[in-house]
Copies of this chain bind each other. A is one copy, B any other.
Amino acid sequence: MKKLINSPENVVREELEGIQLAHGDIVRVSFDPFYVARKDAPIKGKVGLVSGGGSGHEPMHGGFVGLGMLDAACPGHVFTSPTPDQMFEASKAVNGGAGILHIVKNYTGDVMNFDLAADMLREEKIDVASVLTDDDVAVQDSLYTAGRRGVGLTVLMEKLLGAAAEKGMDLAQLKALGDSIRATGRSMGMALTPCTVPHAGKPSFELGENEMEVGIGIHGEPGRKRVSLASADEITQMLMEPILSDLPFKSGESIILFVNGMGGTPLIELYIVYRRAAQIAEKHGLKIVRNLVGSYITSLEMAGTSITVLRANDNLISLWDAPVKTAGLRWGI
């Protein structure tokens, strides 16, 4: 196992120590239990946005804590849900009195634990709502989910709701906005290579020298099909077609297009995928009004890509353009 780590059991703790040292101007890290909070939280009168999930998807979620995105993020062990007490403590720490919104990717463990944490918070008379992402069109149920998996849309969700919370939206409005984003965003991903969870020490699955997995999940869960290697243009078509036909996205609509790297894919390849995705979108009569290209929701060192398409309107564009200052995404301030 070739990794820049000291020991599998200390990966998350030492990563968090690095984040605290590098980004102490933006965040503070709690080590018992693990969470990353905005340095200036709680912010009185602002809804606190809290997300979390297994580690190994960096910069998501810890890298999205800061002005204009999350108030706190709870990292579990690699590819393992965080615990309810992490979510409870993180939510309490960033509660500014206007309630807490949990942003939850649809995985059985995450959903259950955020539910438990919400119950604990309600017992303390803290208002809680939650928004789910389940944007992956590849499979209906999967190894770790009932229903679709939450993937790339989560990044856009955290950006957009973060901006809306910053502007003073209340909990009910944020929940409604989140649900509408959930309803109008779709994703699909693929992998060229597997990844290795540190405490497992070997790849979570095998892919032959001429094989790739289309429709894969962000933990290397099986996708739609294992097929022979194809060109970037063909792969992009294999992802875009199911995404566009699922909602469906209709000619004349505006979209935000997000081409994501799985962790081990160089940026030069992501632009080749973006090129084809943009051409396909245009052929469908879609207008790309904003975009994001880079590795923002990853699967350790997996090579591959995912594409997310979100229906856009003037309100979402204005939220997208709002300032953000986090370790993983930054503009406008």
Contacts and interface: CB of A to CB of B under 8 A. Distances in A.
Interface of A: 2-7, 11, 14-19, 21-22, 55-56, 58-59, 63, 78, 192-193, 209, 212, 229, 231-233, 235, 263-275, 278, 288, 291, 293, 295, 298, 300-301, 303-305, 325, 327, 330-333
B235 A265 contact: no
A14 B268 CA distance: 9
A288 B24 CA distance: 12
Contacts of A6: 231-233, 272
A265 B232 contact: no
Contact of A272 (B18, B267, B300): B18
Given A3-B269, A18-B278, 4 more contacts: A11-B272, A14-B272, A56-B266, A58-B267
A231 B192 CA distance: 27
Given A303-B264, A332-B333, A2 B58 contact: no
Contacts of A55: 268
A274 B58 contact: no
Given A291-B22, A330-B331, A331-B330, A192 B4 contact: yes
